[in-house]
Chains A and B, each alone.
Chain A
Amino acid sequence: MAMVLSEEAGMLKDAAKGFLADSAPVSQLRKLRDTESADGFDRDTWKAMAEMGWTSVLVPEAHGGVEMGHVAAGVIAEEMGRTLTASPFLSTAVMGATALTRFGSEAQKGEWLPRIAGGKAITALAVDEGRKHAPAHVETRAERSGNGFKLNGKKSFVADGHIADMLIVSARTAGGDAEEDGVSLFLVPQDAAGVTIERASMVDSRNSARVILDNVELNADAVLGDVDNGYKPLEAVLDAGRAGLSAEMSGSAQECLEQTVEYLKERKQFGEVIGTYQGLQHRAAHLYSEIELGKSIVLKTLQTLDLAPDHAAMMVSAAKSKMGSVAQLAAQEAIQMHGGIGMTDEYDIGFFIKRVRVAAALFGDTNYHTDKFARLRKY
């Protein structure tokens, strides 16, 4: 498959770029933060995204979607990374849609996919429990009760948790605390009795929540996929999200570099534009090279997810590892090369270093994915 965007994806990119620059630039995130918005995202922007088909980018046509695939989803995420647009796009349109499309029963698909496609339902994945990402480490229990299950446990770092209509929760139905076998996935309505969702205030001003499950009673049909065998589907859903996050970070990294290069051309010190200094030129040129590598592995990964989703795990980990470190380098270099102004809240660069830190940590940081890559490579 050629490593260039199709005409269709290229058009989507241009449209996304234009829309986000006009309707959801960094100033929108700043405003959401400063006004302490209860939602943490802009509902009108979300509605407009749904009208443009973004929320249905991974939903099959039979369920009201446009099913353009992961490359297209990545194009949108990348542009959102440039503007740091706050929205539940990744948790819902990428991960929610992947979970239901690939692993949902007909009834579950019928219930959720049209609503996801239409921008009418928001979903969130509740997976992590500890300080670091460890999807197999599941202490949350799901015990059989009546003809269904009773869930008890705690989840944290749940992106978009407090605005979600439905949570996809991993819980243990068998096995020991850190075993892959015995993990099951459940679709938990946000308003189910016993569910407490508490918003966390994050460094990137984006949505994240802690979720407490206290004797939450669910019917058997709330299980996504097979009981005890939820780990593989969980990984597939995570991988879709990780690839999307990598694309988002790619956009953020490119934006950091471009803004920095512009600044290097304007700012004068010692009687010269600072961009004439080789010490800065080489840092910028190195960063450019790193970002080019990041862009390539992200595109390759998104293509792999479209062509062979069951064989994408290694590429996804490579991409998340690479792009996580590249984007963090980009944000750090951006601040350094801006000097003092880069440290001010008034300047946008600070928003980038914050978001990139969170995006890099979400669903496994660079260390996690480097280790996972090595495990998949059998060493």
Chain B
Amino acid sequence: MSDLETFRAETRAWLEENCPPEMRKPMTGEGDACWGGRNWTFQSEAQKVWLERMAAKGWTVPEWPVEYGGGGLSKEEAKVLRDEMKAIKARSPLMSFGIWMLGPALLKFGNEEQKKEHLPKIARGEIRWAQGYSEPNAGSDLASLMTKCEDQDDHYLINGQKVWTSYADEADWIFALVRTDFDAPKHEGISFVLVDMDQPGVTTKPIKLISGKSPFCETFFDDARCEKYNLVGEKNKGWTIAKYLLTHEREMIGGTGTGAMRPMGDIAVQQLGLNDAGQLCDPVLRTDVARAEIDGLAFMATMERVTDEAKSGQGVGANSSMLKYYGTELNKRRFELMMDSSGHDGLEWDQENDVARHWLRTKANSIEGGTSEVQLNIISKRILNLPTA
């Protein structure tokens, strides 16, 4: 048996023994997800056990180095783990901006102390992170952000406001972009800082979304304190880190296009049934569903290809924008079809599977992490090399 096959067999056995049965049922909604953090209350004993066991193996972050709480797995091994988890329908043990966004940025730009301090807590789900990028006047034009960060000799002092900060009211720490130089060109006066939100200078105010939920907030900094050792990378060089992190965020959001959920065709058949010819009762919907499924297959193949190309060094870096653009637009299409196929039942506000709220939530996919238009701008400039005026 090859090493990888041995690893597969061991992984399968370990998962079989350690993944609680409750954690092998599909999530019914965002409420089933585990986000961790200081204030987290586990929904069940099974959720707690599952996180602890996975974290002990380092498998909440399989590819991170062992010394930072990771599993130290190779890309191939990590894929085996993913496949095996998928095979038993195991839930992800931990959802986390720390894992998806901050972690990769710290691994690349953080110093040793920062990695040692923050990464293991992310891996174990002990600290929950928020992303403090957007401001009321800095959305797509993120680099025009104005939150002020002043050097107070032994610490930094932060004043300003962030907005659309997802889950800020439940987060423990925030990674934020702040302006440290107001005279420099806009991209060259930005720094990347880590701020403990458990202080009087940081307050949050939830904002209600069209889906009726309030997963994002306004975040205010009033003389908030940030220790000097929590500046990541060099002062005024934060934009590079910001962009690197955005690439990871985009890949993560773009992944929604793979429809980890049930295939749309199966859902439509269940909801609307087949006619005597064995075809979906709504013939126009049938065509749209088939097109969306075909695009879904093509998108998944593209995710695979982009990953494999990156591995073999032939990749086009800005392709994360293409994946973000296409994946989110595709996911929106899927949910339009989901609403079509749910019919009148889907229009009820309170229902078992919350399809209307999910549908509304997907509208944010092509806004958060950089809008579709911004991704198209990036493709034009970085990939097609089209000129700017």
Interface residues of A (CB under 8 A from B): 2-4, 261, 264-265, 272-273, 275-276, 278, 281-282, 284-286, 288-289, 292-297, 299-300, 315, 318, 321-322, 370-371, 373-375, 377-379
- What is the distance, in angstroms, from B218's C-beta to the closest C-beta of chain A? 31
Check if B301 sits within 8 Å of A296, measured CB to CB.
Answer: yes
B309 within 8 A of A: yes
Residue of B295, B304, B386 touching A261 (CB-CB under 8 A): B386
User: What chain A residues lie within 8 Å of B293 (beta carbons)?
Assistant: 318, 373, 377
Within 8 A of A (CB), among B312-344: 312, 314, 319, 322, 325-326
- What is the distance, in angstroms, from A364's C-beta to the closest C-beta of chain B? 14
Contact flag A275-B386 (CB < 8 Å), given A282-B376, A289-B379, A322-B295: yes
User: What chain A residues lie within 8 Å of B388 (beta carbons)?
Assistant: 276
B303: nearest chain-A partner, CB-CB: A296
Check if B290 sits within 8 Å of A370, measured CB to CB.
Answer: yes
Contact with A along B158-172 (1 / 0, CB 8 A): 000000000000000
Check if B305 sits within 8 Å of A299, measured CB to CB.
Answer: yes
- What is the distance, in angstroms, from A179's C-beta to the closest C-beta of chain B? 16
User: What chain B residues lie within 8 Å of A264 (beta carbons)?
Assistant: 386
Check if A299 sits within 8 Å of B301, measured CB to CB.
Answer: yes
A321: nearest chain-B partner, CB-CB: B294
- The answer for the CA separation of A278 and B380 in the assembled complex, in Å, is 9
Contact flag A275-B279 (CB < 8 Å), given A289-B379, A322-B295: no
User: What chain A residues lie within 8 Å of B387 (beta carbons)?
Assistant: 265, 273, 275-276
User: What chain A residues lie within 8 Å of B389 (beta carbons)?
Assistant: 272, 276
Residue of A288, A293, A295, A377 touching B295 (CB-CB under 8 A): A293
Check if A297 sits within 8 Å of B298, measured CB to CB.
Answer: yes
- The answer for the CA separation of A57 and B291 in the assembled complex, in Å, is 32
Check if B280 sits within 8 Å of A318, measured CB to CB.
Answer: no
- What is the distance, in angstroms, from A288's C-beta to the closest C-beta of chain B? 6
- What is the distance, in angstroms, from B378's C-beta to the closest C-beta of chain A? 8
- The answer for the CA separation of A272 and B386 in the assembled complex, in Å, is 12
- A-B residue pairs in contact (CB < 8 Å), sample of 28: A4-B314, A261-B384, A261-B386, A265-B385, A281-B377, A281-B380, A285-B376, A285-B379, A285-B383, A286-B376, A288-B383, A289-B322, A293-B295, A296-B298, A296-B301, A296-B304, A297-B294, A297-B297, A297-B298, A318-B297, A370-B294, A373-B290, A374-B279, A374-B286, A375-B279, A377-B263, A377-B293, A379-B290
B367 within 8 A of A: no
Check if B294 sits within 8 Å of A318, measured CB to CB.
Answer: yes
- What is the distance, in angstroms, from B65's C-beta to the closest C-beta of chain A? 25
User: What chain B residues lie within 8 Å of A273 (beta carbons)?
Assistant: 387
- The answer for the CA separation of A4 and B322 in the assembled complex, in Å, is 18
User: What chain A residues lie within 8 Å of B269 (beta carbons)?
Assistant: 378-379
- The answer for the CA separation of A159 and B316 in the assembled complex, in Å, is 37
Question: Which has the most chain B C-beta neighbours within 10 Å: A4, A261, A264, A273?
Answer: A4
- The answer for the CA separation of A377 and B290 in the assembled complex, in Å, is 9
A258: nearest chain-B partner, CB-CB: B384
Check if A374 sits within 8 Å of B280, measured CB to CB.
Answer: yes
Q: What is the interface residue range for chain B against chain A?
A: 35 or more
- What is the distance, in angstroms, from A242's C-beta to the closest C-beta of chain B? 14
Check if B301 sits within 8 Å of A297, measured CB to CB.
Answer: yes
- The answer for the CA separation of A378 and B375 in the assembled complex, in Å, is 36
A-B contacts besides A4-B312, A377-B293, 15 pairs, CB < 8 Å: A261-B385, A265-B386, A276-B386, A276-B387, A281-B386, A282-B376, A282-B380, A285-B325, A289-B322, A294-B298, A296-B298, A296-B301, A321-B294, A374-B265, A379-B290
- The answer for the CA separation of A370 and B289 in the assembled complex, in Å, is 10
B345 within 8 A of A: no
B32 within 8 A of A: no
- What is the distance, in angstroms, from A184's C-beta to the closest C-beta of chain B? 27
- The answer for the CA separation of A292 and B309 in the assembled complex, in Å, is 13
User: What chain A residues lie within 8 Å of B278 (beta carbons)?
Assistant: 375, 378-379
Within 8 A of A (CB), among B262-314: 263, 265, 268-269, 274, 278-280, 286-287, 289-291, 293-295, 297-299, 301-302, 304-305, 307-309, 311-312, 314
User: What chain A residues lie within 8 Å of B311 (beta carbons)?
Assistant: 2
Q: Which 9 pairs between the two chains have the least Cβ-Cβ distance?
A: A296-B301, A285-B379, A281-B380, A3-B305, A297-B298, A293-B298, A296-B302, A374-B290, A276-B389
B5 within 8 A of A: no
B288: nearest chain-A partner, CB-CB: A370
B350 within 8 A of A: no
Check if B380 sits within 8 Å of A318, measured CB to CB.
Answer: no
Residue of B274, B279, B289, B299 touching A293 (CB-CB under 8 A): B299
Check if A285 sits within 8 Å of B319, measured CB to CB.
Answer: no
- What is the distance, in angstroms, from B331's C-beta to the closest C-beta of chain A? 14
Contact flag A318-B298 (CB < 8 Å), given A4-B314, A281-B377: yes
Question: Which has the most chain A C-beta neighbours within 10 Å: B286, B297, B304?
Answer: B297
- The answer for the CA separation of A264 and B387 in the assembled complex, in Å, is 9
User: What chain B residues lie within 8 Å of A276 (beta carbons)?
Assistant: 386-389
